[in-house]
Amino acid sequence: MAASRLADMQQWMLGAITRRPPDMPGLSIDVLLPSQRLSVEERLRVYQSAYLVRLGECLRSEFPAVVAAVGDDTFNEFAVAYIERCPPGSYTLGELGRRFPEFLAELRPAKTDEHPDFGDFLVDLARYERTIAEVFDVEGPETDPLPSEQRLQVADAAAFAAGRIEFYPCVRLFRSDFPVHEYRSAVRRDETPSLPEPRIVPLLISRQEFIVRRWEVPAWQHAVLEQLSAGKTVAESFTRLDARNAEELTPEAITAAFQEWTSRQIIRRWINSET
């Protein structure tokens, strides 16, 4: 009985701190005691404020470029509204910012035309910073014992074309209407960048030696990587390309692309279609 009562009180306290007190008959603020200097309400507000401040700090550390783009005060308002709408529900605060880009997308004013604007930039910037956090946390090539030169060992070209490519879980394909990666890099250098001009940016993001890496890739490479990531064979991934990319698809360019992907350790292995 005592254990059940304790559990109820813990749930009530959690709700009170997060400003979402549950309906628990028999429990109210009267279960708390004042101190010599603070009333019950004041003591509770200390915990409520600390809760928001701590979670706000977590969001600031994950989205420093968004902070730079909107300013401290606006970001604090965003953080409080986001925490109230999307309170943490995971054992790890690494999941706290998972829905933040979606939250900003829902919050932004309606667009008046189809041209990318500051709202688009802000959402893309948040998506990019969230992607970096995810890439850092998931499995990568650091502990894989297979040498990079063995990842694409294949008997012949026909077998290779019929096979599939498996990427490491940390590999992400990213597309933005703005060079958000350059903006974030400038922020990390303690610069004060201005809003960049819009341009389509296809990015490949991964991790090497526990450091997140990103680089722009040609549009045709991005398209091929999307198909390969979706489980298409090597041959299918190239035949699905837009005809506008045909002149770029020389044998030398394709060979160089696979060599670069291997050297950047995004490819875990080639998979024989017959196995």
Cα 219 from Cα 94, distance rounded (Å)? 31
pLDDT per residue as tens, the chain (275 positions) = 466 777 777 777 777 777 655 555 555 566 677 888 878 777 777 877 888 899 999 999 999 999 999 999 999 999 999 998 998 988 899 999 999 999 999 999 888 888 999 999 999 999 999 999 999 999 999 988 776 666 677 668 888 889 999 999 999 999 999 999 999 999 999 999 999 999 999 999 999 999 999 999 999 999 999 999 999 999 999 887 766 666 677 888 888 999 899 889 999 988 887 65
- In this prediction, residue 11 carries a pLDDT of 74
Kindly list the strands in the beta sheet with 201-208, ordered across the sheet, starting from the edge strand earlier in the chain.
172-176, 201-208, 211-216
* Residue type at position 157: A
Q: What pTM value is reported for the model?
A: 0.86
Cα 245 from Cα 202, distance rounded (Å)? 14
> For residue 114, what are its two tokens?
């189809």
- In this prediction, residue 137 carries a pLDDT of 94
- Tell me how far apart the terminal alpha carbons of the chain are, to the nearest angstrom: 58
Cα 37 from Cα 35, distance rounded (Å)? 5
